[in-house]
Structure 1
């Protein structure tokens, strides 16, 4: 192993690193006095993760306090109008007075400030997500109905009949059949609404009312909203086109009591999602996507939809980057909104005033889970960065380029085994390029560090936030520098960054990556003779593409990667997206043939580690298997790390530890020349 400096950190022990608590969601009470976080950690068996809820002091004075604990865990915290805390959980209902329920899957639970949690909504097969009205006792949740089932009771009976008959078959008549790592069907998501007087949303099964407000496709709690008074519900709907290329997502506004459709947000050439009602309920704010074509990249903006008329206006006209998340002011007299967007290796918070003025509130870091105080003067959020895990922070809701106030919370990682810097260069077309570079402790001209290059996935993503799956710091702890480059197609660099790489996955982005690697290797603290590369998803595709174009790297890791573009287009759950970008392979084969790594397999000389999960539907496992078979056929040194029960991401705690150990040992062997060490349990 390479020599490292300083005392060991959490990143020197993979088990300790993966056991670090992970803060992943915030909720603020209506009076602004309570801030609750969902915090994830290893489960009792050590083979997965479970989430619990914690009270975080908004003033930053008091230590965090754990609120919930169960084997099933609790997630998705949200407050109702009366201050009751709601959450999702698959925990059992131990109330002896409770009736029989189909307890498979999570339900919505309510936890008063004093007292025990009680079930608030259940549904046979479980609830996918929920939302609460800001000013009324109304809850909306997303759950499935089997074909032919008009309500939850009939749905539960059909589920029981299928189970007793041992039927698992699904008949699809249109649309997509799989999504990321899940099979879709046989049930279809619908939105249900419960009401219960002034005492808050209905408790338990059968109390209050549950009204199907329609909906199809895949929906999460981020895709459902209630008007502040609880009288209307907005949710996304997947619409099947006359041909698959016409499939799209629209937003439906319905009467919360009757389910009657009041308005559909739909427009040719666009998709809509993430609806939010304004504080006075007079309009929706939605994310609008320009659908990609063979010639033109997709793009995102925020739009306002006036109700009931449906007049639409672009809220971010002229803004160079794509909004990722938005929240609206809770004040009825204020149309201010806040959102985040990737920008130059960060993901700042932006404020949009009613007159259209935009103010960047943060200069560094990446922000998620925005919450606005009742007076609209304070924001709470989770802040992370490449060198900092997510932590709750407090922000002034108007001050530009400020430093947030960190709040006390679980999840500190302690000292890092290195430092973070930036690397700047220009592409062959003169476009400015930047990367993050992680340097291990002790790296200097007298002892330059070996380098690992991490092409990111997407390709429409960028390196700007902490990640638990592709974290560079365990590599730094082993003595490696890690380059995190943002090549063509990365967001946060304006529309030109997309245009210069559109339609040429293995062209301009490849050249950018090589230029950024050249610049990093030219540093005196980097050993240019010992360089490896590892990528996943699009980054895995790029790893394969690079392996066919250069032998400059000592070793390459290809995770969840596309090997044969043409066969992948027919197998992936995102087939329509790939036809839009690459064209119909029968009539427009050019891009498939130009950019498919499999067509140049005989050029590969670099040792490769192939990693794939059997339940990966975005990049089906046949891609990884075909790559491994071709490498063996051609005599290229290769290994295949296969996860039969993982999908596109390696999520199991034990599997994640083995993933890191295998990659590190593979690079140690081929980049540093140490003997191969097979990880324990493999």
Structure 2
């Protein structure tokens, strides 16, 4: 969630760096180095795709930081690398998409490119591999920019994808922002459009309007139309006001505005829409609508609308779970992957024109799942009898899972990370009631936990606020579960504002940031302390993005926390409104702009209560963060330093909201671990 004007940041970061280094990297603990080394060994599985006939699996796995494609039987046997690369780890191949014939696999590769593309790396192009032939993949395109989200038309004649011609950065608010130079808001705007390419090769056709930024799209069953979610550029900012459109899959075609959440009446008004999905007969489009703070991290209710437009219908009003991803399995049924009390749960729904009713839960996974296309995304065979996905948990490192839908939760069909074992303690779901809400969270025990001893506990608040903590294997960077390996409890609550309890629960912290959700979190701390031996005088707090805001705001409201690490936080919602590059997200949550209702922003601004803070605080942020701009971290750090509160600020050069440099990821986690060891020692 959450974006700067940063012309002075490089100078300021250079001035501050010596202070940060001296304060946060002294007296290294050898256990920290061991832990960081282990975290760096995981091989990420970025995508999983099951062939439509259910017989073949493809996945994308990283080798030495480079993604490569593996092809196998559906049970994982006969796995072998495919693509242009002569060996894994030397170039990038990803973006896999099966053709309807289950024989051809499209992908993106820069392995044979001699042209420079985005960020100085080699330009990626579209290739198609005939999986039943020993020949080389066919080169289909000569792109100049950023492409992703490859998707075959149902008739197999055309490939569609999202394309930013001349891109200088990935199309994501999480990526490092461009330098703020030139005429702001006018010059250098990059627009993502739907593009198509004949499956046999040919010219790329830009389908959607040049002034409209497209976030997601879907082919109609007739292969002649596309539905897409789009807004005026700039794309980073305007997803929160995006509309649903339908048009012919041809350039310069007239489009139809199907749903405008900004003007529609009913529960969808002013909310966000995502994941358009055509009904099998092409008459309707279903989508997820809700209060969502991040494009790509979807949750809400399932809506339906006639493909030609009309009033959208909330099919799942009042449910107590949060659908995050779905697919039509028949004209009268949906398969829905949903957040439920901190778990990922696949359920079958029957659907008619007015309602979608859950019939049964097919399985609940033991960790976080996705297929690479979307959070909670799954890859199904065409008959929806088989499913595949990547899964990890606190106990098991990432692997590819596949199996029959009706046989319970699928088993792992790979052993890519099988040698990795957790060096942290066991995980346990914790539930409690507070203020009329039922709340859930995850608790990691200290390694080698002894109930006769008292341990410190670190509370990790997730980002969003619309989001949820699911069990997931931790990695380097802003992943704080490994603190358990150094003798801490780690508590990860899903308070009001989180997915998993229904849309009313998600919307319960509107215009109330830092109050109700903080009280839910503190009630969760009390519940944990009644359950296990936590030392209440040794509590720490950590978070990133919205969690970074909470890490700045909570010490102004309570003295229970003795050490804090605030990552990419927000100190002052009023100044933040004018600094970030995604201000459109704020109106759904605050109810008005800062110019129309400054008081609602002021009441949740840590800077207005800053003299209450006594807690030593480490502050970290990316220099080019477009979501949570670095000046917010400077403002909080400056106040604490002036007030004599122990503090350190570290600004990481050229990083955005999501850090991509492995050196920075490792450094961030090392500093956080050192900070807690200094101010919240595991041994009393």
TM-score, structure 1 as length reference: 0.81
Q: Which structure's CA Rg is the greater one?
A: 1
Give the structure 2 partner of residue 159 of structure 1. none
Give the structure 1 partner of residue 374 of structure 2. none
Structural RMSD (CA): 3.3
Residues of 1 paired with 2:440 and 2:226: CA distance? 43
Decide which of 176, 199, 202 is 2:200's aligned counterpart: 202
Decide which of 124, 146, 152 is 1:106's aligned counterpart: 124
2:39 aligned counterpart, secondary structure = helix
Give the structure 1 partner of residue 175 of structure 2. none
1:27 aligns with 2:49: yes
Decide which of 32, 38, 58 is 2:74's aligned counterpart: 58
Give the structure 2 partner of residue 36 of structure 1. 58
The question of whether the paired residues in 1 share the 8 Å contact of 2:230 and 2:239 is answered with no
Tell me by how many angstroms 1:78 deviates.
0.4
Superposed CA deviations along residues 465-519 of structure 1, whole A, max 9, x for unmatched, are 4153443442122222101111121111234423543211121111111121122
Decide which of 59, 67, 78 is 2:82's aligned counterpart: 67
Change (3 A) 1:123 1:169: farther
Give the structure 2 partner of residue 191 of structure 1. 194
Change (3 A) 1:312 1:493: closer
The question of whether the paired residues in 1 share the 8 Å contact of 2:114 and 2:122 is answered with no
Residues of 2 paired with 1:121 and 1:10: CA distance? 47
Residues of 2 paired with 1:416 and 1:120: CA distance? 43
1:338 aligns with 2:335: yes
Decide which of 486, 496, 511 is 1:503's aligned counterpart: 511
Give the structure 1 partner of residue 209 of structure 2. 214
1:647 aligns with 2:656: yes
Task: State how 1:344-359 maps to structure 2 within 5 Å.
Answer: 344-354=341-351, 356-358=356-358, 359=360
Tell me by how many angstroms 1:70 deviates.
5.6
Give the structure 2 partner of residue 664 of structure 1. 673
Change (3 A) 1:581 1:334: closer
Give the structure 1 partner of residue 370 of structure 2. 368
1:142 aligns with 2:144: no
2:571 aligned counterpart, secondary structure = coil
Tell me by how many angstroms 1:67 deviates.
2.4
Decide which of 257, 267, 283 is 1:264's aligned counterpart: 257
Tell me by how many angstroms 1:390 deviates.
3.8
Tell me by how many angstroms 1:340 deviates.
1.5
Q: After superposing the two structures, state which structure 1 stretch, 110-119 or 21-30, moved more.
A: 110-119
2:388 aligned counterpart, secondary structure = strand
Change (3 A) 1:566 1:34: same
The question of whether the paired residues in 1 share the 8 Å contact of 2:572 and 2:602 is answered with no
Residues of 2 paired with 1:642 and 1:664: CA distance? 17
The question of whether the paired residues in 1 share the 8 Å contact of 2:258 and 2:307 is answered with no
Tell me by how many angstroms 1:434 deviates.
2.4
Superposed CA deviations along residues 606-625 of structure 1, whole A, max 9, x for unmatched, are 11100111111111000011
The question of whether the paired residues in 2 share the 8 Å contact of 1:348 and 1:367 is answered with no
Give the structure 2 partner of residue 47 of structure 1. none
The question of whether the paired residues in 2 share the 8 Å contact of 1:24 and 1:390 is answered with no
Residues of 1 paired with 2:448 and 2:164: CA distance? 55
Give the structure 2 partner of residue 295 of structure 1. none
Give the structure 2 partner of residue 179 of structure 1. none
Residues of 1 paired with 2:207 and 2:409: CA distance? 45
1:249 aligns with 2:242: yes
Aligned length: 605
2:95 aligned counterpart, secondary structure = strand
Residues of 2 paired with 1:228 and 1:10: CA distance? 53
Change (3 A) 1:247 1:517: closer
Change (3 A) 1:559 1:325: same
Give the structure 1 partner of residue 468 of structure 2. 462
Tell me by how many angstroms 1:41 deviates.
4.3
Q: After superposing the two structures, state which structure 1 stretch, 437-446 or 364-373, moved more.
A: 364-373
Gaps of 5+ in 2: 1-29, 169-178, 264-268, 372-377
The question of whether the paired residues in 2 share the 8 Å contact of 1:435 and 1:484 is answered with yes
Tell me by how many angstroms 1:567 deviates.
0.3
The question of whether the paired residues in 2 share the 8 Å contact of 1:349 and 1:367 is answered with no
Residues of 2 paired with 1:56 and 1:379: CA distance? 15
The question of whether the paired residues in 2 share the 8 Å contact of 1:536 and 1:561 is answered with yes
Superposed CA deviations along residues 270-318 of structure 1, whole A, max 9, x for unmatched, are 54332233344443332334699xxxxx973223343446674444344
The question of whether the paired residues in 2 share the 8 Å contact of 1:121 and 1:202 is answered with no
The question of whether the paired residues in 2 share the 8 Å contact of 1:456 and 1:535 is answered with yes
Q: After superposing the two structures, state which structure 1 stretch, 356-365 or 336-345, moved more.
A: 356-365
Tell me by how many angstroms 1:597 deviates.
0.5
Change (3 A) 1:308 1:552: closer
1:348 aligned counterpart, secondary structure = strand
Higher normalized contact order (CA 8 Å, seq sep 6+, divided by chain length): 2
Give the structure 2 partner of residue 316 of structure 1. 316
